[in-house]
Amino acid sequence: MTFVQLAINGVALGAAYALVAIGFVFIINATSAVNFAHGDLVMAGGYVAISLGSLATLPVIVTLPLVAAIMFVVGVAVALIAYFPLINRPPATVFISTLLCGIVLQNLFLILFGPQARAAPPLIKSGMMHLGAVDISIQAAGTLAVAAALIGLQYLVFARTQIGRRLRATAQDRQMAQAVGIRAYVMIAGTFGAGTALAGVAGALLANQFFVYPTGGIPLSVYAYIAVVIGGWGSIAGAVIGAMMISVFQVVVSAYVSYAVATGLLYFVLLLVFFFRPQGIFGELVQRRV
Amino acid sequence: MASWLLTGIRLPLIAGTAALILYAVGFANLYDLRVLTLCGIYALLVLGFQFVFGHAGAVSLAQATFFGIGGYITGILATRFGFSFPLTFPLSIAGPVLLAVIIGTPVLKLEEHYFSLATLGIGLVVLLLAIQWSDVTGGTNGLAGIRPVQIAGFEVADRRSVLWFVWGIVALGCVLAHQVTRGFLGNAYHLMRENREAAASLGLNIAELRFGAFVLSAAYGGAAGALMAHVLHVVSPENLDFGLMITCLTMTVIGGRTQIAGAILGAGLIVYLREWFRVLENYYMVAYGTVALVILILAPYGLVGALERLRLLLPGTSSVARLPQPLAPPVRPALPPDAETLLQVEDIALAFGGVRALNGASLSCRPGEIIGLIGPNGSGKTTLLNVISGLYSCQRGKVVFLGRDITKEPAHSIARLGMARTFQHIHLADDLSVLDNIALARAGIDGVGLVQSLTTIGRDRRLETARGLAMTAAERLGIAEVAMEPCGRLPYGTRRRVEVARALAAAPRVLLLDEPAAGLNELEQRDLADRIRTLGADGITVLVVEHNLVFLAALAERLICLDRGKVIASGLPEAVRRAPAVIEAYLGSDPDMQELALAGPP
Amino acid sequence: MSGVLDIEGLSVAYGPVSALEDVTLSVGAGEAVALVGANGAGKSTLFKSIVGFLRPRSGRLLFHGRDMSGFGPERRVRMGLGYAPEGRRVFPGLTVRENLEVAMFAGRAERERRLDRAFALFPQLAERQNQLGWQLSGGQQQMLAIGRALMGEPRLLLLDEPSLGLSPKLADEVLAAVKTIVAHGTAVLLAEQNVRKALACCGRAYVLETGKVVLSGATSTLRNTEEIRKAFLGA
């Protein structure tokens, strides 16, 4: 494979990771807690896509809105079970509750779908398309397009719409949001829903090339976590950049050395980042209120 | 004897232990023996995890890594070099400890979430190493054929002996954990977990305490891993993986985060839950995760923690068994007679973002002086106290204490030099008795630590001395009658006085009080003012931040007024209260009002 | 009984600490009322109870004669309460314009009209429409907080220490806006440390001391009361 193809695959994978990381940041911003079930919710999205695909042989692009809608509901359910009962406890408690939630999800997958890795139908169809001198897999190109569209869409929603402004206001100061009339708890539940929907879509996109299996979500949670650390806690743009860096690094290093070395090096680099820049590479975009 | 049995959860604990021993001796079959052995190993793992997670309050995700490393060291040394237990076991503990020592300092500096991720990252690197370095580790298959424990030619092979052996080591682990957490050090961890600033300003070195807990957790993890290798006869990457980490975390959360009984209960319950839920076949992990989640929501301090809390509601439960005799406080070496200024603050500036909290504040205090620091809301009073006591570092200026530049010193060193303080919002450990809260003032000064706790056999005389001193301070503040009560149960005014008593028990040269009268009624205020005044007479310098001028009027010899981060007036109380700049800061620049203020009481 | 806000016998406590005791107070339609008292007298606590952040131990809170005790803050605000808190608390990562927009529940045209009104009241904000909240100076943040509280066209505006940390000139500017707001028919309850300024822009005042109303009446009579001096500077 040429370097250009590698880079495109890396960027396509990164786009899917970016969706995962954005959802992860949504929840961090809304609750200041880490959702460690996030990777498992990505897997859930993959399984939903597989189930829908087995009901009717439709390409994923058709069922994707339904996947997103179902995962939105799942996300609200996770908020009701693992977050709201613990809302006044320290963030570490929420972290543990999401870990436990993840365990339950992983084992539900095991019961419902078995231990083997499974693949979802392709986004449109499998195969390659020719673009000048390079061949690009249609799945990669489609993933890139869908992810780019969703990243753009979430940007527009957050930046331009009243609901986006209310979500941001709630994330920045929940109590003050209530004091200007915003239903903060509805916004938080909605944020969980939206973040989970993005994770689910990412799962449906990844599930064709990279498969889904019950414990496949754990590394994804970790990658999202790392992307956020690289990009700066709470920054959506930073998370996208972080996710891209992780995936390109992974794809390139595993092509030339091995996947294991790529992963090991990734963690090692992460530890270096911690050591030299504990505030993340890009720092925090908004200063904390003093 | 009867009262000893009834304190805390001793009675159910002893009854439970006896029942278990009876079961193991009389009724358990081979399978039960194996399950009980595993319970012991997990209990040891959890006991270790409690140090870092429960006592130090840091969500480490490296406990399984320490466990795995311990197992691999035993496995490699036993299968490849034929070393036996007396050599492999200490090395299996030393390996994880070494790793913890190397990574501890940088990693423990990170904030909460970053700390968790960093420890997870370390775990994943080690896991990859175990899988990839297959020449040594056996790759994904791991190493098989690890012999049972052999000591001096005697092999611990049959399941009943293995059970006793493992539980013997668990018992040893319990004793050590008890040594570390029973008295002074345990209380120090308790306060540090609830409020780091308060602990640091009592002279406790937070970084050192956290480091100690992390290293101990590694030692326990390594020991448990080594035992597991001998019991299962194999080590594999499963011993290192995230699933085990979650199991360990779950056991701790469910059993209890700081109690030894909690470690055993949590480990036992989870191991048995899995066995019982096996009837549910595939659903057992789902059921198990759900039960853990429900316990997390309903009993946030774990099952043993919940029991303790229930008991705390009953009267007559205290962290102190009986009241000690008050002891005379140690005498600080006399100051040189020419010491005019004890504390000198020069030109301090500190900005948060664009807000200038302090903007060139200067003041100085003589020995034995009582000074009131006043100023409108947001004028920088508390910020100045935080700079003086080392909790904030200033961007410009200098703080000199006892002739020594302490501007760059950490809070705990400043505290040990003889500076004590209270906080605007009360920071006490609610579950501890009044006496133990006050006694904590001595912990930092006496330099409590792991080595000292581990080598103190029997009665902890340092703690007894500290309690004696605490009793004196409690008497001075008039709270001796409630000395055995847990702080959380006391009314607000009393808790305020506990905080002042704690600061006093440190035998400070300078006492910084941040709004000590807030929330007190007039009677309590007058009483507190009287007590503070006697401190000045004893040569303690007192700097009181207060907006209650009535309270200060009866107390302070001198007033200093801050406005927008600067000192705008300083001098005798009457003069400061009449200074136009002060009146303007409080009332605005209306000539009518100024006239009124200057007219004084009719 | 026909006031905008009627508080009867309100007591509030933080755990064991009593913060307000038996406070009775009312604000009539279109009236400006000052709430003065030293730090810690309970002004902010009273405001937080009115907005609904704190649950009172006893007493009644009537807004236009309706008991608000069962309602959460967002409902109370939508009923016509505006709140500019102590410390301003503008949304740091939202622009000035967004800070204002987020507080409105109205159609686009109506939103534009209200934005124009806020910008007319505080021209400095119009110039900085696209700056983020945390980039503003303290005075601008205060203007933004007041502007934001007005976006729901409230019938009562709660202003908690608007001059806190501001230079005297800026404080005067902010308080001048209060007069304009009252002139437009919104009732104002103003907590201020700066007594003169508070009394200058309000018709009536209540003096709080350690959680109790110790004095109340028309500002013209209060200005010369010994009690006010005492409440601030001690006997």
Q: B155 pairs with which residues across the strands? A: B150
Q: What is the chain C residue with the closest CA to B565?
A: C165
- Nearest chain A residue to B122 by CA distance is A267
Q: Which residues of B touch C223 (CB under 8 A)?
A: 592-593
pLDDT of residue B336: 65
The answer to whether B142 and B256 have CB atoms below 8 angstroms apart is no
pLDDT at C192: 82
Nearest to A109 by CA among A41, A53, A168, A158: A41
Query: What residue in B sits closest to A228 (Cα-Cα)?
Result: B114
**What does the block give as tokens for A258?**
């091995």
Token match 């200007």: residue?
Answer: A180
Contact with chain C for residue B354, Cβ under 8 A: yes
Q: d(Cα C207, Cα C228) in Å, to the nearest integer?
A: 7
Please count the residue pairs, one from chain B and one from chain C, whose beta carbons lie less than 8 angstroms apart.
74
What is the model's pLDDT at position B149?
A: 84
Q: Are A38 and A21 in contact (CB under 8 A)?
A: no
* pLDDT value, residue B45: 96
- Nearest by CB to residue B293, choosing from A89, A101, A270, is A101
Instruction: Give the mutation candidate from C167, C224, C229 for the B interface (greatest B CB count, under 10 A).
Output: C229
Q: Which of C39, C138, C234 sits opposite B355 (nearest CB)?
A: C138
The predicted pLDDT at position B553 comes to 79
Spatial contact of C133 and C91, defined as CB atoms under 8 Å apart: yes
Question: Is A13 in a helix, a strand, or coil?
Answer: helix
Query: Contact at 8 Å (CB) between B220 and B47?
Result: yes
Report the residue from C15, C39, C137 with minimal CB separation from B547. C39
pLDDT above 80 (res B412)? yes
pLDDT tens track for B221-270 = 999 999 999 999 899 998 888 889 988 988 998 898 888 889 999 999 88
Instruction: Give yes or no for residue B591 having a pLDDT over 50.
Output: no
Q: CB–CB of B114 and A82 under 8 A?
A: no
* Strand ranges (E), chain A: 128-131, 134-137
pLDDT in tens, B192-211: 988 888 999 998 998 889 99
Other C-beta atoms lying within 10 Å of the C-beta of residue C74:
20
Q: Which of A24, A89, A93, A100 to mutate: most B Cβ within 10 Å? A: A100
| Residues across chain C | 235
Cα atoms found within 13 Å of the Cα of residue A33, Cβ hemisphere only: 27
CA gyration radius for chain B?
Answer: 29
Contact C235 B548 (CB under 8 A): no
With beta carbons less than 8 A apart as the criterion, state whether B466 and B438 touch.
Answer: no
Residue C233 has pLDDT above 60, yes or no: no
Give dist(CA B452, CA B448) in Å, integer.
7
The pLDDT value recorded for residue B71 is: 94
* Alpha-carbon gap, residue A228 to B576, rounded angstroms: 53
Poorest-pLDDT segment among A209-213, B75-79, C53-57, C164-168: C164-168
Segment A196-202 shows an average pLDDT of 94
- Residue B387 vs residue B241, higher pLDDT: B387
Task: Please say whether the beta carbons of C43 and C161 come within 8 A.
Answer: yes
Q: What's the pLDDT score for residue B308?
A: 79
Label residue C27 by pLDDT band (50, 70, 90).
Answer: very high
What is the three-class DSSP state of B149? strand
- What's the rounded Cα separation, in Å, for the pair B265 and B267? 6
Question: How many whole angstroms from its chain centre is CA B83?
Answer: 40
- Chains contacting chain B through 3 or more C-beta pairs under 8 A: A, C
Residue B590: is its pLDDT beyond 60?
Answer: no
At B124, list the tokens.
């994943």
Distance CA B16, CA B18 (A): 5
CB B389 within 8 A of CB B512: yes
Q: Which residue of C has its CA nearest to B576?
A: C233
pLDDT of residue A286: 39
Picking from B150, B151, B134, B152, the residue whose alpha carbon sits closest to that of residue B142 is: B134
Q: Residue B592's pLDDT is what?
A: 47
pLDDT digits (tens, 9 = 90+) for C171-210: 788 888 888 999 989 999 999 877 777 888 888 999 888 8
pTM: 0.83
Chain A residues whose C-beta is within 8 A of a chain C C-beta are 162, 165-166, 168-169, 172-173, 175-184, 285-289
The strand pairing partners of B359, in sequence order, are B349
Task: Place B594 in a pLDDT band, splitting at 50, 70 and 90.
Answer: very low
Return the residue of C nearest to B595 by Cα.
C224
Torsion angle (degrees, nearest 10) of CA B89, B92, B94, B99:
-170
C78 part of contact set with chain A, CB < 8 Å: yes
For A289, name the nearest residue in chain C, comparing CA atoms only: C92
- Closest alpha carbon to C218 in C230, C206, C210: C206
Task: Tell me which chain B residues have a C-beta less than 8 angstroms from the C-beta of A215.
Answer: 243
Tell if the CB–CB gap between C73 and A179 is shorter than 8 Å.
Answer: yes
Q: Give the nearest chain C residue to A170 (CA atoms).
A: C91
By Cβ distance, the residue of B492, B587, B602 closest to C232 is B587
Share of chain A above pLDDT 90, in %: 34
Is the Cβ of C154 closer than 8 Å to some Cβ of chain A?
Answer: no
Return the structure tokens found at B234: 């194999």
Tokens of B106: 């940088």
Cα(first)–Cα(last) distance of chain A, in Å?
52
Average pLDDT across chain B, whole number:
84
Q: Does B593 touch chain C (CB under 8 A)?
A: yes
* Helix, strand, coil percent values for chain C (each to nearest 5): 40, 25, 35
Q: Specify the range with the lowest mean pLDDT, choosing from B171-175, B337-341, C231-235.
A: C231-235
> Cα(B495)–Cα(B479) distance, rounded to whole angstroms?
9
CA distance to A253, B447, B513, C162, per residue, from C141 (Å): 49, 47, 32, 10
Question: How far is it, in rounded angstroms, from Cα C32 to Cα C204?
Answer: 7
Among candidates B300, B308, B312, B392, which has minimal Cα distance to B352? B392
In this prediction the ipTM stands at 0.90
Neighbours of chain A (3+ CB pairs under 8 A): B, C
Q: Quick check: B114 and A226 CB within 8 A?
A: no
Which one of A106, A267, A275 has the shortest CB-CB distance to B124? A267
pLDDT band at residue A109 under the 50/70/90 scheme: very high
Q: C128 at the A interface (CB within 8 A)?
A: no
From residue B433, give the alpha-carbon distance in Å to each of B70, B310, B311, B438, B520. Answer: 39, 16, 14, 9, 21
Q: Which helix (H) or strand (E) holds B71?
A: helix B63-81
Q: Are B161 and B247 in contact (CB under 8 A)?
A: no
Chains A, C: CB pairs < 8 Å: 70
pLDDT at A58 (0 to 100): 79
Strand-strand pairing, B154-156 and C212-218: unpaired
Query: For residue C95, what is the DSSP state?
Result: B
Q: What's the whole-number mean pLDDT along residues A150-161? A: 90
Q: Phi and psi of B419, rounded to 5°?
A: -120, 130
